[in-house]
Amino acid sequence: MSTRTSADVVVIGGGVVGTAVTYFLACNHVDVLLVDKGAIAGGTSGRCEGNVLLIDKMPGFDCHLTKLSQNLFPEISEELDYPIEWTQKGSLLLIENEAEMEVAIDFCQKLAGEGLPVRILDRHEVHDDAPLLADDVIGGMECASDGLLNPMALAQGLTHGAKKAGARIQSFSPVVDIGLDPNGRIEKVVTETGEILTRQVVNAAGIWATEIGKQVGLEIPITPRQGQLLVAERTFPVAGRKVMEFGYMMAKFESSRYKRDVTPEMEAYGVALVFEPTQAGNFLIGSSRRFVGMDTACHIDVLRAIAKRAIRFFPVIKQIKFIRSYAGLRPYTPDHFPIISGTDIPGFYVAAGHEGDGIGLSLITGKLIAQMISREPLAISVDPLKLSRFKDKQKDIDGFGRKIRN
């Protein structure tokens, strides 16, 4: 059965980014149609965590962009007539030793300079904050504005909100082609279920954005990066909010001299503690980082390393049962920034490549793309996020095979 319809804008991808784009476009009274090859939140957004964090952002643009996005969550969670399980209890980074403490103090000062509600916790304070912590943790760093939500619920909530504002949603409609007219402008989006005549397309396909880009001859340097997670049974609160280890931030600072005291497996799989309580009373632990193509299978060696790392910080986890595991593929770009951008093809936009920040940046991404399409002033300059930034260095990122950085 084939259908034919038209829309002012077609958004490709029903994850948190695509649904946010659709939501904000619909709120701007734009005639928008969302297509996805599967279900809403059926890809990366259904296989991740619910981070809306500032604590792991770099001072400057990274911080400013994320802060704009974070500020939108409290109102959106009210605005959407859907429980997205938004909580804003802050986040905590655990500090293992003096070397980390030194870097953390400096980092914390820089983030405070950006106006973020961050502070260093001493030994006493951190153990007060999380009484079940291992005794030898010497301190922590906190960001009070950080929050968590349920990503699948966010995508569903944004979808419902968008529909209410007039958007149309077509799930289970894989895009097979994007047709251009003789002048090189977008003419139509062809899906397995029919044709949509349109002049504007937003590619929010995440790890599949590269394939969608090829349909109009664009190179989009996104590589899937796998992360595995474990789900614990519902039980007493091991900690009341997001907890991570500062050691994993050290990699972000490129301080290659510093080596965490971890096993070779943890090193190889890029394992670092991430703890996330859920509203139902379960908790998630991660994390791992590996380039393994489109493989979403969990591997016992990786899961074991993740569990061991979690037990190192919270020994009580040894007594808690894990009931599920899952792996998600995050859309990695060579410079770790997303692509929120117009392109050389008039009417073709890209909103993808958020790697581990897709949930946190979903709202600002949606807002920015809606502002671009509605020709409104942008909430923040998106120059650092342009697709064209990869062009000049295309050779350097050949195959995107940059060394895996743990």
Partner 1 sequence: MDSGEKFEIKIDDIRIAARKGQTIAESLLASGLRVFRRTKQNAPRGVYCGIGICFECRMIVNGIPNVRTCMTPAEPGCEISTQYDAAMDCTNE
Q: Considering the complex, what minimum distance in angstroms separates the CB of residue 94 from partner 1?
A: 18
Q: Which is nearer to partner 1, 292 or 316 (CB)?
A: 316
Please say whether the beta carbons of 63 and 54 come within 8 A: yes
| One-letter amino acid for residue 316 of the chain | V
Q: Considering the complex, what minimum distance in angstroms separates the CB of residue 123 from partner 1?
A: 18
Q: Which is nearer to partner 1, 232 or 350 (CB)?
A: 232
Please say whether the beta carbons of 26 and 166 come within 8 A: yes
Q: Which is nearer to partner 1, 127 or 260 (CB)?
A: 127
SS3 17: helix
Strands 283-286, 223-232: pairing kind? antiparallel
Q: Considering the complex, what minimum distance in angstroms separates the CB of residue 130 from partner 1?
A: 12
Establish if 183 lies at the interface with partner 1 (CB under 8 A). no
> Rounded to a whole number, what is the largest CA-CA distance in the chain?
69
Cα–Cα distance for residue pair 172/38, rounded to 1 Å: 4
SS3 163: helix
Q: Which is nearer to partner 1, 318 or 391 (CB)?
A: 318
Please say whether the beta carbons of 55 and 33 come within 8 A: no
Establish if 135 lies at the interface with partner 1 (CB under 8 A). no
SS3 32: strand
Member of 131, 264, 377, 399 binding partner 1 (CB under 8 A)? 131
The DSSP line for 257-275 is T---S--HHHHHHT---EE
Q: Which is nearer to partner 1, 38 or 237 (CB)?
A: 237
Establish if 256 lies at the interface with partner 1 (CB under 8 A). no
Site string for partner 1, 307-346 (x = CB under 8 A): ---------x--xxx-------------------------
Residue tagged 């260095």 (tokens): 393
Establish if 281 lies at the interface with partner 1 (CB under 8 A). yes
Q: Which stretch binds partner 1 (CB under 8 A): 35-43, 86-94, 227-235, 331-339?
A: 227-235
Residues forming contacts to partner 1 in the complex (CB under 8 A) are 131-132, 233-237, 281, 316, 319-321
